[in-house]
Amino acid sequence: MNEYFAVNRALWDGWTAVHERSAFYNVDAFRAGQSTLHSIERDQVGDVSGKQLLHLQCHFGLDTLSWARLGAEVTGVDFSERAISLARSLTRDLGLQATFVCANVYDLPESWAERFDLVYTSYGAIPWLPDLGTWARGIARVLRPGGSFHLIEFHPVVGMLDDDGRTLKHPYFEQAQPMRYRVEGSYADRSAPYSNEACEWSHSLGDVMGALLSAGFTIQRFEEFPYSPYNCFPFLEEREPGRWYVRGLHPALPLTFAVHAVRRS
C-alpha cells in the first residue's frame, strides 16, 4: 500500500498548486468571507458551535475553515504536505483558529482517543482509501462515546461511469487491486498542464455501511441525492442553481449520498 499512497500523495501535492489558482476553488472569494459549504453539508451536520470537529482528508482546508467560521474548534488532516502548508498559511492570513496535521487517515495519533465530538469527511474522499474497515475503526477511536460521524460523498454509481455519463467503465464492488491510471489536468481545471498517476478503489454502499456498523456505529440517517453541488465530472449539466445532474438523463441517477452515524458507548 505504501507504493499506492506515494503515487496519490504526489498527485495531490501537484494538484494543490493547480487548485489554489482555480476558479473551482475560488480562494479569493473564500478570503473575502464566502463559505465553501453547501446546503447538504450544513443540513446534515447542523450546529457545530463549540464542538471539537475533525475533518479527514481536508485538502487545503477551505471546508475546515468554513466550519471554524461557524464556531467549531477544528482540526484538519491530510496526507499532502503541500496542502497542509497552504491550509496553515490561509489560517494565519485570515486570523482564524484551526489546527492542521499532515498524516494519513490510517495513522491518527493515539493521543486523540475519544477527543472529538464530530468527525467529518466529504466529496471524493473514500475512493482514495484501500481499506474501509481500518478507516471506520480509526474514526470510532477518536470520537467520544455518542459522538457523530458525517460522511457526505459522491455516490459509487458515479464512479462506475465513463466520461460520457452513459458507459459503465469501472466496478461497483470493492476490488483487491486499485484502478491505476494517468490523470491529465484536474477535476478542478481539466486544461491545467499537469499529469500524474493515480490509484483509486471502488467501495459500494454496502462496504461503507458494513465498515461503520462493524466499527461500533449506529446509522442514524442515510440519504441519497440526484445531484452534485460541484461541476466536477464531464457529463454534468446545471438544471437548478448550484445543482448538477447527469446531462440529458431523466430520471436522474444518484450522484451523492450522506450518512450520519453515531458511535455507541
pLDDT tens digits along 140-165? 999 999 999 999 999 999 999 998 99
Q: How confident is the model at residue 174 (pLDDT cuts 50, 70, 90)?
A: confident
User: Strands 236-240 and 243-246, how do they pair?
Assistant: antiparallel
Give the start-to-end residue ranges of the domains of the chain: 2-227+254-263
Which pLDDT belongs to residue 52? 98
- DSSP designation for 252: P
Residue 251: pLDDT over 90: no
Each residue's pLDDT tens digit, 108-143: 999 999 999 999 999 999 999 999 999 999 999 999
Residue percentage of the chain with pLDDT more than 70: 100
Q: Which residues lie across from 74 on neighbouring strands?
A: 53, 98
Which pLDDT belongs to residue 136? 98
Residue percentage of the chain with pLDDT more than 90: 92
State how far the alpha carbon of 93 is from the alpha carbons of 30, 83, 86, 98, 251, in Å: 12, 15, 10, 12, 45
Q: Which CATH class is domain 2-227+254-263?
A: alpha beta
Which pLDDT belongs to residue 120? 98
Q: How many Å apart are CA 262 and CA 213, to the nearest integer?
A: 10
Query: Which of 109, 110, 136 lies closest to 121 in space, CA to CA?
Result: 136
Q: Is the dihedral of CA 143, 35, 193, 180 positive or negative?
A: positive
Query: Which of 251, 263, 202 lies closest to 226 in space, CA to CA?
Result: 251
Residue 176: pLDDT over 90: no
Each residue's pLDDT tens digit, 198-237: 999 999 999 999 999 999 999 999 999 999 999 999 999 9
Residue 1: pLDDT over 80: no
